[in-house]
Amino acid sequence: MKASVLYAPGDMRLVDLPDPVPGAGEVLLKIAEVGICASDVHWFREGHIGDQLLDQPTILGHEFSAVVAGVGPGVTRVRVGDRVAVEPANWCFQCDMCATEDFNVCRNIKFAGTSPIDGAFREFANWPEHFMEKIPDHLSMGEAAMLEPLGVGMYAVDLAGDVRGKRVAVFGAGAVGLSALQCALAAGAERVYVTDFIPARLALANKLGAAQTFDAADPDIIERIKSSNGGTEPDIVFEAAGDNDAVRLATRLVRPSGTVVIIGIPYDDDMVLSASTVRRKGLKLQMVRRSNKTLARCVRLVADGRIDVASYVTHRFPLDRLSQAFEVAAERKDGAIRVVIRMSG
């Protein structure tokens, strides 16, 4: 099979590898479409995320859909030919975190596309059957791949608590920020304001239900959002930009005793906040680690037409142009939101 392997920062090579054979409880997946996440860009450009290092050649990619091409002994939930969305986190079910169903922080988690666990930028992959959901025929494989970033936005809204009737702001209108927007509205938020630097992303946020959008470069953005919100601050702010300045701005914008939900992964591993702002306002800060128990809910919401993820996909490339695709994703060229690698139909 063909696979694209990252050997070092910027050193991505298309290689031939043996076709995998599924073991007990495993499913052989023919990969269909794979999204390039901001975390993939960190791996590609820097060879690390925070203190987690690229310690061996690794196949990236964790936002993916697939068709079942084979099953190992004991597999009962899926069969050959099923179209599936995949949960990229493989948790152990044995540790104390799994005992409390905090699966996203499982102490022994294996996450696809995070060194040393290979991901989906390859023609075939084995994955445990527990971590996939069959999708209905009317969902495209591109939509199924986008259920992973949707799950992150959904989990962020879960962590924010009851959003019904609340005023919300989202910093960053990439796939995860747009997911937080849509999930907050689906959960009953009254109004959601969205910021970004890229006009095409703001236009899509408007289409997906944002009450108003704002240029993130505007030096008066806090006052403009407050003015649009009747002169008061939002109750909840989601930071999905992956930028420390956005984190600081979120704490300045949110109302006293409000909640800031930090989703983004900054290039600088250090996060610096104004202690006086956070302390005097009595803010609640919530960090987001991937997602937890969201995939089945995501399938239902998209299948029912309540959430649109098809519009996230702005660019598609074949596997042999993966390095070029990464550059488009990293530089957000031509209004890129999600750049997707199409492996098969």
Contacts within 8 Å (CB) and 24+ apart, 208-215: 208/178, 208/181, 208/182, 208/308, 208/311, 209/181, 209/182, 209/185, 210/170, 210/181, 213/173
For the structural domain made of 2-146+309-342, what CATH number should be given?
3.90.180.10
Average pLDDT value for the chain: 96
Residues 245-292 pLDDT 10s = 999 999 999 999 999 999 998 877 788 889 999 999 999 999 999 999
Report d(CA 244, CA 341) in Å as an integer: 29
Percent of the chain with pLDDT over 70: 99
Domains 2-146+309-342 and 150-287 share a fold: no
Kindly give, in sequence order, each residue whose CB lies less than 8 Å from that of residue 308, ignoring residues fewer than 6 positions away: 182, 208, 302
Residues 313-328 pLDDT 10s = 999 999 999 999 999 9
Q: What residues are paired with 262 via a beta bridge?
A: 239, 287
Backbone angles phi, psi at 156, to 5 degrees: -60, -40
Residue pair 260/240 in contact (Cβ under 8 Å)? The answer is: no
Q: Where are the domains of the chain?
A: 2-146+309-342, 150-287
Q: What residues are paired with 34 via a beta bridge?
A: 64, 341
Q: What pTM, to 2 d.p., does this model score?
A: 0.97
Pick among 2.60.40.10, 3.40.50.720, 3.40.50.620, 3.40.50.670: CATH of 150-287: 3.40.50.720
Token pair, residue 269, equals 């591993």
pLDDT range class, residue 51, cuts 50, 70, 90: confident
pLDDT of residue 271: 86
